[in-house]
């Protein structure tokens, strides 16, 4: 914007050309692998192995996808991933907005302490909690169940932080007015506060769904039979197992994992990037 110097127009034009060239090359390097994944997933295995490689599939085939969806149980993994992500997202929206409201707008003993503990939790890596979580979940008899996959993620610290910060900006007067009008506390939350939280809930919903969809370590440990695998677990285990050299199949699998997320991201990219720029969290 204003960092542009006015004087030398020719130099400016040259600088612009160089900048465009560099950015376009960068874009190619970033997008290229995805395009190549997509194109290659339609090639038969022999063509994938061909040296030098073909760009456009010479003998396009749906064989890789057919195998994914018939011989391997990808519809099941897709369903598992969707179900787990939906439940985790719903849980976070409900629990985090309720506690966020309490932390931002209600006075109760232990409020500060709760917030500090939750904030501290943001720093704890998944590796620290997963062994005790696993011991707990297996003692509850929940290994290899949907409950076991979902429960540890229902109440995430990030969501609390996000909702509290957002709710601090909701004017107290609105809540007080509703209280004077005689609305009960739950009714105030449901009918006055939540409708004002649209943007925050949208950001939290998108980020939580995405994190759950891409989550790997926990489902890898908890899902012990194929019927409970999520997509990343299935893809990772196939790629280190007996299918490890079957690139066509693996790339088609990667397309199935990546494509829904890319579509959602491209549709909602504005809210997405704004949310990230303001919260500073992925």
What residues from 111 to 170 belong to the interface with other proteins (CB under 8 A)? 111, 114, 117-118, 121, 123-136, 138-139, 151-152, 154-155, 157, 160
Q: Select the span of 25-33, 64-72, 82-90, 196-204 touching other proteins (CB under 8 A).
A: 25-33
**Residue 190 sits in the site that holds other proteins (CB under 8 A):** no
Non-local (6+) Cβ contacts of 168 within 8 A are 104
**Residue 253 sits in the site that holds other proteins (CB under 8 A):** yes
Question: What does the alpha-carbon distance between residue 54 and residue 192 come to, in Å, rounded to a whole number?
Answer: 59
**Nearer of residues 33 and 198 to other proteins, judged by Cβ:** 33
| Residue ranges in the chain assigned as alpha helix (H) | 9-40, 45-49, 63-70, 74-105, 111-121, 126-139, 146-150, 157-168, 172-180, 185-187, 198-214, 217-222, 231-240, 247-279
Of residues 259-278, those binding other proteins (CB under 8 A):
261-262, 265-266, 269, 272-273, 276-278
**Nearer of residues 76 and 133 to other proteins, judged by Cβ:** 133
Q: Select the span of 48-56, 67-75, 82-90, 194-202 touching other proteins (CB under 8 A).
A: 48-56
Quick note: the x/- pattern for other proteins over 211-240, rule CB under 8 A, is: --xx-xx---x---------xx--xx--xx
Encode 210-229: b = buried (16+ Cβ within 10 Å), e = exposed: bbbbebeebbbbbbeeeebb
**Residue 40 sits in the site that holds other proteins (CB under 8 A):** yes
Non-local (6+) Cβ contacts of 63 within 8 A are 44, 248
**Nearer of residues 73 and 206 to other proteins, judged by Cβ:** 206
**Nearer of residues 56 and 108 to other proteins, judged by Cβ:** 108
Among 8, 25, 26, 58, interactor with other proteins by CB under 8 A: 26
**Nearer of residues 103 and 204 to other proteins, judged by Cβ:** 103
Phi, psi dihedrals of residue 240, rounded to the nearest 5°: -110, -5
**Residue 48 sits in the site that holds other proteins (CB under 8 A):** yes
Non-local (6+) Cβ contacts of 39 within 8 A are 55, 56, 57
Among 8, 21, 25, 50, interactor with other proteins by CB under 8 A: 50
User: What is the C-alpha radius of gyration for the chain, rounded to an integer number of angstroms?
Assistant: 24
Using alpha carbons, select from 102, 93, 91, 90 the residue that is nearest to residue 189. 102
Among 171, 182, 195, 241, interactor with other proteins by CB under 8 A: 182
- For the chain, how long is the longest CA-to-CA vector? 76
Using alpha carbons, select from 69, 79, 67 the residue that is nearest to residue 230. 79
Among 8, 60, 185, 227, interactor with other proteins by CB under 8 A: 185
**Residue 33 sits in the site that holds other proteins (CB under 8 A):** yes
Using alpha carbons, select from 233, 211, 239, 71 the residue that is nearest to residue 144. 233
Among 9, 71, 107, 112, interactor with other proteins by CB under 8 A: 107
**Residue 83 sits in the site that holds other proteins (CB under 8 A):** no
**Nearer of residues 69 and 278 to other proteins, judged by Cβ:** 278
């Amino acid at each position: 914007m204003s960092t542009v110097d006015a004087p030398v127009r020719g130099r400016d034009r040259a600088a612009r050309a160089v900048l465009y060239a560099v950015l376009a090359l960068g874009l190619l390097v970033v997008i290229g692998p995805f395009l190549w994944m997509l194109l290659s997933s339609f090639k038969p295995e022999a063509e994938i192995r061909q040296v030098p490689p073909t760009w456009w599939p010479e003998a396009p085939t749906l064989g890789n996808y057919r195998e994914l969806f018939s011989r391997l149980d990808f519809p099941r993994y897709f369903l598992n991933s969707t179900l787990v992500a939906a439940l985790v997202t719903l849980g976070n929206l409900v629990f985090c907005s309720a506690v966020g409201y309490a932390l931002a707008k209600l006075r109760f003993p232990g409020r500060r302490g709760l917030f500090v503990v939750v904030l501290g939790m943001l720093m704890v890596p998944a590796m620290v909690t997963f062994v005790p979580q696993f011991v707990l979940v297996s003692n509850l008899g929940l290994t290899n169940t949907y409950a076991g996959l979902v429960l540890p993620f229902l109440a995430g610290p990030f969501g609390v932080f996000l909702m509290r910060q957002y709710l601090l900006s909701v004017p107290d007067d609105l809540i007080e007015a509703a209280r004077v009008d005689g609305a009960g506390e739950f009714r105030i939350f449901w009918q006055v506060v939540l409708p004002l939280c649209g943007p925050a809930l949208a950001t939290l919903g998108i980020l939580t769904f995405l994190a759950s969809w891409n989550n790997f370590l926990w489902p890898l440990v908890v899902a012990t039979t194929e019927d409970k695998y999520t997509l990343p677990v299935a893809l990772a285990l196939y790629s280190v197992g007996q299918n490890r050299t079957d690139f066509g199949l693996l790339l088609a699998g990667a397309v199935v994992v990546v494509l829904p997320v890319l579509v959602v991201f491209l549709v909602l990219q504005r809210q997405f990037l704004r949310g990230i720029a303001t919260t500073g969290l992925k």
